[in-house]
Amino acid sequence: MSKTMKIFLLILAAVFLFAAVGALPANARTSSNVNDQSSYSVAADSKTVLRATPTRKAPPTPRPSPTRKPTIVPPTRLPTATKIVPPTRMPTATRIVPPTKVVVPSPTAGAGSFTMAQTLSDGAQLTTLAFDGLAFLTGNPGSDSFFPPGKVADFWGFQYLRDNDPSGMGHNTDFLTRASLNMFSILDASQNAQLITLAKGQVTAINDYGYKRFVLMSAFRRQLSGSLPSGTTGLSQSAVKSFSADLYQLDGEISYQRALVMGSILSNLNTAQKTYLAGMVGKGMTSWPVVAEPDELRGLSHDEKVAVMTYAGDLFSWYAGSLEADVYFCPERQGTYFGSFYMKDAPAVGNPGYSIGTNITADYGNAFIKTLSASQAPTITNLVTTQKASLLGIVDVRTAISTELRKAMSGVTPDQATVLALMRTYGELDGEIIYQYATAFSTVNSSLTSAQSASLTAMRQTLLGSLSLPSSAYLYATPITYPTVQDTAFLFK
């Protein structure tokens, strides 16, 4: 056989051999399915490793890595059942509503949101005197007599401090207490003794002022009811002005004595005392330290304690303030014989932490005017114009009085005769205002329909509830039996 023939036969045999292998079943060629991870080996004890066909396997089913714990994604919020939501406002029953007006960082800045311009504005005066009218027409002699003690001898900037408190807490019942106790706490024994001695010496005059107010209030009620003295047709403006001048002269005497004592204390403060006060000036009430009541106050009578607390608060505001702050008064400061203070303040009496609503006067004053007819309303709204000259005169007089009294802070004795003469003028100006109020309110009252009267009474009931009509009178904010009042016929003509 030739060499060429042998090679040909060998190639032919190889072809038949490969054909036979290709005909074997697929499962005879590997140990398992290629998609299984065990296809990389035949058996654990095998010495021979058969590699799987290098085709791409389907990705394995994801599972946690055996070398680390599964990742736990923390929840983005607490489960509903246990979530603690911080309150965005206090509960309705105790909520303290912050003011919407912008406040200045310091009472001395002279740019507070409550200024004389705001007080004298037609809008503020209209709603205030209208609120007075609502209070008078729906109230009684007891509610007329309620009068905050801080409105007597008020030339020390405390009302400005209250109205422009940066924390918006000026009308909280704790405001005076916090200011007074802080001031009292830094004074030495001698200085505190001066305040206590002043209180003991002034209580009689302070109460006398309060009782004299009942004469005017009684006369105004007579005018309202039509129970005029025989032979008269109504109030006498000149008589009302004269009596008011006497009353304000008494206020002047009280103010002058306070200025001497308070001025002496403030002009002799030491460095430590001034440093302490510097930490309070320009700050809101909520940032002032909470101070316990000292033992010296616990042995005083109620009236004496009220006076001392008033002095201490006035000391701080006088020190922290300015002439502008001393002159400033709120819209309801004048014409205070008609019960509006009771309407606003009665719920706050005896309630620590209570804040008096800042929109009560505006809301209810506007509601009062809207209840009146087109022919009745001008009797009230025209008061804004008729009283304007008197109000502007009061600003001028208060400026002169405050300027004189402020001399005491620098060790200079104010001129008493000047102060008392100015105070009589102040009283005459306020007398003009209260005469106009009393006659206008009485005119409107006489023309009210039964439906209007019912509507006004409902307003009062909504605001005050069970406190609507007090059963007693008040000496400032203290309930008393209604006092015997002298015959008021001399106030009529």
Write out the DSSP string of 376-443: THHHHHTHHHHTHHHHHHHHHHHHHHHHHHGGGGGTPPP-HHHHHHHHHHHHHHHHHHHHHHHHHHHH
Residues 16, 14: Cα–Cα separation, whole Å: 5
Which tokens in the block code for residue 291?
């101070």
CA nearest 146: which of 366, 349, 314?
Answer: 349
Which tokens in the block code for residue 397?
């007089």
CA nearest 303: which of 152, 483, 175, 472?
Answer: 152
Residue 17 domain flag: no
The CA angle 166-169-171, to the nearest 5 degrees, is 125
Could you give the dihedral angle defined by the CA atoms of residues 480, 485, 488 and 490, in that order, rounded to the nearest 10 degrees?
A: -130
Instruction: Please state, rounded to an integer, the average pLDDT across all residues of the chain.
Output: 83
Place of tokens 């100006």: 429
Number of domains in the chain: 1
**pLDDT by 10s per residue, the chain, length 493:** 555 555 555 555 544 444 444 444 433 333 333 333 333 232 333 332 323 333 333 333 333 333 333 333 333 332 333 222 222 222 322 222 222 332 323 333 333 589 999 999 999 999 999 999 999 999 999 999 999 999 999 999 999 999 999 999 998 989 999 999 999 999 999 999 999 999 999 999 999 999 999 999 999 999 999 999 999 999 999 999 999 999 999 999 999 999 999 999 999 999 999 999 999 999 999 999 999 999 899 889 999 999 999 999 999 999 999 999 999 999 999 999 999 999 999 888 888 888 888 899 999 999 999 999 999 999 999 999 999 999 999 999 999 999 999 999 999 999 999 999 999 999 999 999 999 999 999 999 999 999 999 999 999 999 999 999 999 999 999 999 999 999 999 999 9
Query: What does the DSSP assignment read for 302-327?
Result: HHHHHHHHHHHHHHHHHHH--HHHHH
Which tokens in the block code for residue 80?
């509903």
Residues 445, 442: Cα–Cα separation, whole Å: 5
The answer to whether 400 and 422 are in contact (CB under 8 A) is: yes
pLDDT for 4: 53
The answer to whether 237 and 219 are in contact (CB under 8 A) is: no
Residue 166 domain flag: yes
Residue 248 domain flag: yes
Residues 416, 307: Cα–Cα separation, whole Å: 22
Q: What are residue 476's phi and psi, to 5 degrees?
A: 65, -110
Q: How far is CA 254 from CA 156, 199, 209, 274, in A?
A: 13, 10, 10, 27
Q: What are residue 197's phi and psi, to 5 degrees?
A: -65, -40
Question: 3-state class of 454 per DSSP?
Answer: helix
- Cβ atoms within 10 Å of 45's Cβ, excluding its own: 5
pLDDT for 84: 25
- Cβ atoms within 10 Å of 49's Cβ, excluding its own: 9
CA nearest 420: which of 293, 252, 256?
Answer: 252
CA nearest 395: which of 433, 439, 348?
Answer: 433
Residues 366, 138: Cα–Cα separation, whole Å: 15
CA nearest 289: which of 280, 281, 301, 297?
Answer: 280
Residue 24 domain flag: no
The answer to whether 323 and 403 are in contact (CB under 8 A) is: yes
Residues 302, 75: Cα–Cα separation, whole Å: 60
Residue 64 domain flag: no
Question: 3-state class of 191 per DSSP?
Answer: helix
* Global pTM value: 0.77
Q: Is 351 left (phi over 0), alpha (psi -120 to 50) or beta?
A: beta
Residue 160 domain flag: yes
Residues 153, 441: Cα–Cα separation, whole Å: 28
Residue 45 domain flag: no
pLDDT for 357: 84
User: Quick one: what percent of the chain has pLDDT higher than 70?
Assistant: 77
What residues contact residue 355 under an 8 Å CB cut-off, 6+ apart? 96, 97, 169, 171, 172, 173, 348
- Cβ atoms within 10 Å of 449's Cβ, excluding its own: 10
Residues 223, 440: Cα–Cα separation, whole Å: 10
Residue 76 domain flag: no
CA nearest 195: which of 180, 205, 210, 208?
Answer: 180
- Find the domain containing 405 and state its range: 107-327+335-491
The answer to whether 235 and 223 are in contact (CB under 8 A) is: yes
